[in-house]
Structure 1
Amino acid sequence: MARTIAILVARLIFGGLFVMATTFKFIDMQATAGYIAGAGFPFPLFLAWMAAIFEVGLAAAFLTGAFFSEAALLAGVYVVFLAFAFHGPSHWEGNQAEFGFFVDHFTFLAGLLFAAVHGPGEKLVLNLGVKQLFVPAPIA
């Protein structure tokens, strides 16, 4: 029972973080686009919308368990990208907190990798994944 509770709490935390990130983007998409532009990326409004849509998908996967391991791996790549793009070494000079933000992304990555390997648990899960799409069901 404790294992099930821990897994569900972890899924709620992962899902909740991406729901919060998405909510902030939808509340002020222009501010998100400005932040993206400030990092030097082209087409910042388009990228802000793509990030919000991607994060909605991640949140849905974590909260439902559908495509859970795949989502955890994609989220891990995304989190490392965000670490380098927005908090990487070029941001550390003059702002030591940026280094802390950078490192925090890797602790998040560790949790995502652990989740990807262990899956969404057995309770409150839509058991969907890429593997299930391509592996034929056993014939009864």
Structure 2
Amino acid sequence: MARTAAVLVARLIFGGIFVMALVFKFADMGQTATYIASAGFPFALPLAWIAAFFELALAVCFLSGAFFTEASILAAIYVLFLAFAFHGPSHWTANQAEFGFFVDHFTFFAGLLFAAVHGPGDRLVLRTPPLLGRAAR
């Protein structure tokens, strides 16, 4: 029972984080685009929209358990990208807090890798065929 509860809470946290991120993006897509552009990326507004819908897909996967392993791996890659693109070493000299934000992404990355390996648990899971060639958990 404790394992099931822990897995469900973890899925809620993962899903909640991505829901929160996408809500902030949808609330002010222009500000999100400005932030993306400030990191040196071209086509900031289309990238902001892509990020928002990607985060929506991740949230749905984490909350439903559908394509959980694949979503966990994609989210881990995304979080690692965000760490370097928006909080990496080039940002540390201007703001020391950026180093903390950078490191925080690695704890999230580790949790996502752990989730990818262990799956969505046995309860409240929308079963889907595996996309990565292994049996669904």
TM range (shorter): over 0.9
Runs of 4+ in 1 over 3 A off after TM superposition: none
Structure 1 counterpart of 2:19: 19
Give distance in 2, aligned partners of 1:78 and 1:87. Answer: 13
Structure 2 counterpart of 1:76: 76
Runs of 5+ unmatched residues, structure 1? 136-140
Q: How many Å apart are 1:128 and its aligned residue? A: 1.2
Structure 1 counterpart of 2:34: 34
Give distance in 1, aligned partners of 2:46 and 2:131. Answer: 31
Maintained 8 Å contact 2:67/2:131: no
Deviations 1:49-90, CA, capped at 9 Å, x for gaps:
000000000000000000000000000000000000000000
Structure 1 counterpart of 2:58: 58
Maintained 8 Å contact 1:65/1:127: yes
Runs of 5+ unmatched residues, structure 2? none
Maintained 8 Å contact 1:68/1:129: no
What's the % identity of the aligned pairs? 72
Q: How many Å apart are 1:94 and its aligned residue? A: 3.0
Maintained 8 Å contact 1:89/1:99: yes
Maintained 8 Å contact 1:69/1:129: no
Q: What TM-score do you get using the length of structure 1 for normalisation?
A: 0.93
Give distance in 1, aligned partners of 2:119 and 2:38. Answer: 36
- The two structures, once aligned, show a CA RMSD in angstroms of 1.3
Question: What amino acid is the match of 1:39?
Answer: A
**What does 1:46-125 align with in structure 2 at a 5 Å threshold?**
46-125=46-125
Give distance in 2, aligned partners of 1:130 and 1:6. Answer: 23
- Pair member with larger Rg: 1
Q: What TM-score do you get using the length of structure 2 for normalisation?
A: 0.95
Give distance in 2, aligned partners of 1:30 and 1:129. Answer: 37
Maintained 8 Å contact 1:22/1:56: yes
Aligned residues: 134
Give distance in 2, aligned partners of 1:105 and 1:11. Answer: 17
Question: What amino acid is the match of 1:71?
Answer: A
Q: How many Å apart are 1:131 and its aligned residue? A: 4.2
Q: How many Å apart are 1:129 and its aligned residue? A: 4.0
